[in-house]
Amino acid sequence: MIDVRPILDEPPLHMSFSPGTSDRLVVSFAGVGNNRRQVPPVEFARLSHWNGQNNVLYVSDLSRSWMNGPGIAEAVVEAVQGIGARLKLSEIVAIGNSMGGTAALILASLMKVDRVVALVPQFSVHPEVIPGEWRWTHFRDKIAQWRFRESPDLRETGTSVTILHGGSKDELMHAERFPKDAGYRHFIFPHEGHNLARSLHDRGLLSPIVTLSMLGRFPRARRAIRTAGGVSRRRFDQTPIRTL
């Protein structure tokens, strides 16, 4: 049983914390979830906590604002910095799926984050940036102010970034917008779609990919990704590969 302690319940933002034994903090951002009336559930709980070794901050946004909600970004940064100061952390890792992946990337643009693991993140849900994106219009149309119109360029931050995308048309419209030369470890799974994380989990392949990426063991993470069917973004762009 993972010890999860609520530390902030001020809608739309909800945060909870699981203490660990190491000096690493994992910030785990929830995605949109399946019930728009409920707070998005915690994701990657067991993978993030890693048998109690990692401290984990779980972040859920009821408004599904992609970090654009008033005060949300500031509250998350304040929470991370507060935990870091209290526990004297040596490294911070951010992880998320879909909207959570985008939020993890945004966090790394606001403060020092050592590594980001983003699964199927949106480059943007702003209608002028990705006009063909319609899946989350219910939430997107309620965003009043766009502080983060698109995913930040992290090439100057020193953050190690791992991004995984499916190869379906609606995923590639985001994947292709991420810079090719930013030093990201960006992989495409040609025969997968937006449910990439679920598919990998069901095949027993998600845990090694996420764990090795979070720990910065990149050669082994790359091998695990290739075993699961992922190819580098560079190879995908250069070689015709049948997708969904």
Angle formed by the axes of helices 72-87 and 99-110, nearest 10° = 70
**What confidence category does residue 52 fall into, taking pLDDT thresholds of 50, 70 and 90?**
confident
Query: Counting Cβ atoms within 10 Å, is residue 141 exposed (0-12), middle (13-18) or buried (19+)?
Result: exposed
The full length of the chain comes to 244
Backbone angles phi, psi at 28, to 5 degrees: -105, 110
Average pLDDT for 224-239: 92
Task: Give 116's strand partners.
Answer: 94, 161
Listed by start position, the domains of the chain span 5-238
**How far apart (Å, rounded) are the C-alpha atoms in residues 57 and 156?**
25
Query: How do residues 161-199 score in pLDDT, each as one tens digit?
Result: 999 999 999 999 999 999 886 679 999 999 999 999 999
Tell whether the model's pLDDT for residue 237 goes beyond 90. no
Distance CA 37, CA 8 (A): 19
Residue 36 pLDDT: 87
pLDDT band at 229 (very low <50, low <70, confident <90, very high): very high
**pLDDT score of 242:** 58
Of 52, 61, 95, 49, nearest to 197 (Cα)?
95
Contacts of 202 (CB under 8 A, 6+ apart): none
CATH number at 5-238: 3.40.50.1820
Rounded distance between C-alpha atoms, residue 113 and residue 150, angstroms: 19
Question: Can you give the pTM of this predicted structure?
Answer: 0.96
Q: What number of other Cβ atoms are within 10 A of residue 48's Cβ?
A: 26
Mean per-residue pLDDT, 14-32: 96
